[in-house]
Structure 1
Amino acid sequence: MKCCDQNLIFFLQSNSYLSQDLEKLLKNGYISDCEIQNIPVHKILIETRIGKSFDLIKKYLESNCKLNEIQDLLKWIYCDQMINSKRTNEILNHFGIQNAHKTKLLTNDLKQLLFDEQTSDFKLVVKNEEDEEEEEEEEEEEEELYIHKFILAARSGLFLNMFQNIEENFQKVKDYSGKSLETIELLISFLYTDELPITADTDQEFIKEEFEDIVEYYQLNPTIPMMNIFEKCSKI
């Protein structure tokens, strides 16, 4: 299953969990790759939300904005929240963003990054067992999923620990959860959007059983009511 298929039926979960996880990333500066006014930030996320090059954004903010104004803007970038909405909107207007609360939602921006090879800085290698009958006769097939480290660090305790505790700047890792490619694609989609793409052809009971294990394996935010999501999905 390709998660970007336009024929998918989506169950939209509130993006509050995504915002919670990204807020922790901002607050603690985990795996940041650049700074604005000495605040650790994440380049890909900043560029995606603002739609301009990081250097241009950094130069303008540090030359024209107070520290608290930059902090308020970052709150919007990471959490879709506006503390000083008037000033934050003024800054966003400078970058050509109008009506940010309607036109630039966090989940919509992150969807642009989903499985995007050009902007990704990490690969998750997943075993692909599309035809189990031929598995013994053919060499094991693997698929590389293009992901972003800041998403993995924000949403998965397993990856956060990995990125923090391994000195080597590795670019890919193999998935050892033992779950199907379809389940891993669903997981990645959820990490980026708080949405689960479910099709009429999806074996929801099978995916639910696999997800129960994978949520624990990847150490997702324990407050996310994953099983409630599946119960509602089954009623679509």
Structure 2
Amino acid sequence: MDMKAVFIFVSLSDYCKVLMEDKNINALSEEIKLVEELKTSKFFNDVPFLIFFSKIDLFLQRINKFPLSNYFPEYQGKNYMDALEFIINKFLDDKTKTEKIKRYFIVNLLDNFQIETVLEKCANYLTTKNEKNQPKEEEKKDYLEEEQENDMNPLSEDYLNLFQRQEFCDFELKTKDSIINLHSLILKMRLKEEEIKKLEKISLNLQKKQVIPLINFIYSGEITFDLNGFNSILPILEKLDLDQKWILEKKFPNGFIEDLKKLFNDKENADFTIIANNSRFIIHKLVLCARSGLFRGMFLNVIDDSNQVSEYTGKSNKALDKLIQYFYLGKFDSKLNSKISQELNDSVDYYQLNPKCNLDFQKKN
């Protein structure tokens, strides 16, 4: 039998449970032991392992009530992010022995959008791995870069997905036949205050399908609409006292990134702080939700609605600073050294970033 991969599902919330058949054995410890046995089994030689860490929602609800250190005395972390990273590292490879774990994913099985994204990542990984005429490493990189150039960039894609998921919305745009839920932070970043007010008034006399092409452009900076969509946008732009030149000025990359740069520098209205190694990193929650599946899940599920992560030790300050910059701008202001580049590459799975981010991190070496 030609086995393509081994899928392993781990319940994060099991850290505070015991086995039904033996109340003296921690359930998560038993899962760790089982995975180690599977990794060394002769039946799975040369077969990659993909791990799915599920029940992140229950984990986040329980971690403050039932401290991880009660069940794993060696744990010395300070917050739920440290706890999550500690558990994940328990399953990852000791590289001196084997490298079986090729990818891992943190998932909420009730989140349909996230599951679709994860399954797509798995399919892409397995398809690439099992292609018979797979190009060499250098050729493969060129091919992937070319493929990315022909597709929507991860920055635009992530912000467009933010709109399509309809989460964390705080602004209602009423149309003749519907209500479009939006994010005031994005609107204020892309439009002037008077333009937003005019858009609210104009939309009342339009159908949702007439407004959506403009909304998609506001969120992504990408011209994704066809001729009909473009024709529906022009009358709206005219009533906003804008024209086709505005589209050229606001489109990706220059115009879109310029607006994001203003948001990046707007620390006064940022509403989340990461404290790491005596440094404070101030950021907008919405940016984290758009670009990181991990933070999105945390803000959806953490009950106390905390506005900061304290004493976080997951990344070096330099790598964290670069990562936050990348969340906003989709690029770096300087080249990355090999150490930071490796830290960022390791972040793709942990922070549940768009898989295309790997290429951006590698390009700057």
Q: Give the shorter-chain TM-score range.
A: 0.7 to 0.9
Counterpart pick for 2:267 among 112, 117, 122 = 117
* Residue 216 in structure 1 maps to residue 349 in structure 2: yes
Which shifted more, 150-159 or 74-83?
A: 74-83
Larger Rg: 2
Match of 1:176 in 2: 312
Change (3 A) 1:92 1:118: farther
SS state at 2:270 partner: coil
Change (3 A) 1:168 1:55: farther
Counterpart amino acid of 1:211? L
Match of 1:147 in 2: 283
**Structure 1, unpaired ranges of 5+:** 1-12, 128-140
- C-alpha displacement at 1:77, in angstroms? 1.0
* Residue 205 in structure 1 maps to residue 338 in structure 2: yes
Q: Is the 8 A contact 1:52 1:95 kept in 2?
A: no
* Residue 35 in structure 1 maps to residue 181 in structure 2: no
Q: Is the 8 A contact 2:273 2:308 kept in 1?
A: yes
SS state at 1:45 partner: helix
Number of aligned residue pairs: 203
SS state at 1:220 partner: coil
Match of 1:23 in 2: 160
Counterpart amino acid of 1:22? Y
Which shifted more, 104-113 or 79-88?
A: 79-88
Q: Is the 8 A contact 1:122 1:146 kept in 2?
A: yes
**Structure 2, unpaired ranges of 5+:** 1-147
- C-alpha displacement at 1:170, in angstroms? 2.5
Counterpart pick for 2:235 among 84, 90, 93 = 90
User: TM-score when scaled to structure 2?
Assistant: 0.50
* Residue 62 in structure 1 maps to residue 203 in structure 2: yes
CA distance in 2, matches of 1:168, 1:93: 45
- C-alpha displacement at 1:118, in angstroms? 2.6
Counterpart pick for 1:76 among 217, 220, 242 = 217
Counterpart amino acid of 2:291? R
Match of 2:360 in 1: 229
SS state at 1:86 partner: helix
**Structure with greater helix share of residues:** 2
Counterpart amino acid of 1:224? K
Counterpart pick for 1:107 among 253, 257, 261 = 257
Change (3 A) 1:189 1:166: same
SS state at 2:306 partner: coil
Q: Is the 8 A contact 1:115 1:146 kept in 2?
A: no
CA distance in 2, matches of 1:97, 1:72: 15
Overall identity of the aligned pairs, in %: 28
CA distance in 2, matches of 1:211, 1:231: 9
